[in-house]
Structure 1
Amino acid sequence: MEWTGARYADRPTVEVRTWIDASPATVWALVSDIGLMPDMSAELRSVTWLDGAAGPAVGARFVGRSEHEALGKWETTSHVIECEPESVFAWAVQDPADPSAVWRFRLSPRDGGTELSEWMQLGPGRSGLSLAIDRMPDKEQKIVFVRLREFERGITATLAQIKKRAEA
């Protein structure tokens, strides 16, 4: 990832891709099972469906509890905004009209397996990162850059875990 000097209001994004030697159905079963995600994340501690939901569907909500040594502990409610089995699973964090982040898995059949990408966008809604920027506005671009690098490392590790499980 290159230094872009992006500001939070720019809605900066990160995307990582991998190829998995497994069918889209096999990969979908993993990416759409939010209960597996804490085992594959350095920050996410737990995830629970809300409102009686048992799985992903547009409009379904889940709460995630996370922890980061510099940012502390926090809880967010996410709203599923896209859900097409074996194709795309996306959610908006906090307010779907003004999310603090958007996350998306995309699956595509390729070369007898599945190309899987995980993408995330910061903002435009306020988040814990906004609080750090409020305290040090002159360091906004560095704060955003460092956080995007953390997300890039985390996404890379998550995709490696999904690949390992799908190919097992």
Structure 2
Amino acid sequence: MKLAEGPTTEVEVRIEAAPAEVWRWVCDIELPARFSKEFQGASWHPDTAAPAVGARFVGRNRHPQIGEWETTSHVVRYEEPVVLEWAVQDPANPAASWRFELEPDGDGTLLRQWVRLGPGWSGLTVAIDRRPDKEDKIIQRRLDEHRENMLATVAGIKELAERAAR
């Protein structure tokens, strides 16, 4: 596995709530901080009134081995109530790309969260540059960390959306 190949991971959950109900939780950029061990929160850029293509937000993160950092993300896809996708740092060469996708499923919703690492510069790039012989393991570990946080996030959204839909 190589960073240049854009490794990905994805999680999915079925939610007993309509897509419109799930969408309002997905669009709350602060919400994942309630469930993630790493993501600490986010705030929209002052020139942003609402999520839309081109909107920017600053995310705050913390990792026991890396420390704390902030990134600016750019919304690159916004199709209500279907997809919200953002690129971290440079939209043309992102450090990572993240996406929530909603799909109607009977009287509920399938919610997917997806991430692609690279190809742009990030803390992951630094780790790989230090130990290029361990690139596969470094990437797999990072994907596993993201997957754990993503599973917690979609489970949290499921709980909130189902409670609100009752």
TM-score range (shorter-chain normalised) is over 0.9
Q: Deviations over 1:79-112 (max 9, x none)?
A: 0000111100000000000000000000011021
**1:167 equivalent in alignment to 2:155:** no
Structure 2, unpaired ranges of 5+: none
Question: Could you tell me whether the CA contact under 8 Å between 1:80 and 1:92 is conserved in 2?
Answer: yes
> Which of structure 1's runs of 4+ aligned residues deviate more than 2 A?
none
For residue 12 of structure 1, what is the aligned residue in structure 2?
Answer: 7
CA RMSD of aligned residues (A): 0.8
**1:32 equivalent in alignment to 2:23:** no
Match of 2:58 among 54, 60, 63: 63
**1:133 equivalent in alignment to 2:128:** yes
Instruction: Please report the TM-score for the alignment, with normalisation by the length of structure 1.
Output: 0.94
For residue 74 of structure 2, what is the aligned residue in structure 1?
Answer: 79
- Paired with 2:143 and 2:79, the residues of 1 have a C-alpha distance of 27
What residue identity is the alignment partner of 1:149?
Answer: D
Structure 1, unpaired ranges of 5+: 1-5
- Percent sequence identity is 52
- Secondary structure of 1:97 counterpart: coil
Q: Displacement, 1:39?
A: 1.2
Question: Could you tell me whether the CA contact under 8 Å between 2:29 and 2:41 is conserved in 1?
Answer: no
- Paired with 2:148 and 2:93, the residues of 1 have a C-alpha distance of 25
For residue 113 of structure 1, what is the aligned residue in structure 2?
Answer: 108
How many residues align? The count is: 163
- Secondary structure of 1:126 counterpart: coil
Q: Displacement, 1:35?
A: 2.1
Q: Deviations over 1:12-46 (max 9, x none)?
A: 00011110000100000000111222112111112
Q: Deviations over 1:53-95 (max 9, x none)?
A: 1321000000001000012111100000001111000000000
- Paired with 1:27 and 1:72, the residues of 2 have a C-alpha distance of 32
Question: Could you tell me whether the CA contact under 8 Å between 1:32 and 1:55 is conserved in 2?
Answer: no
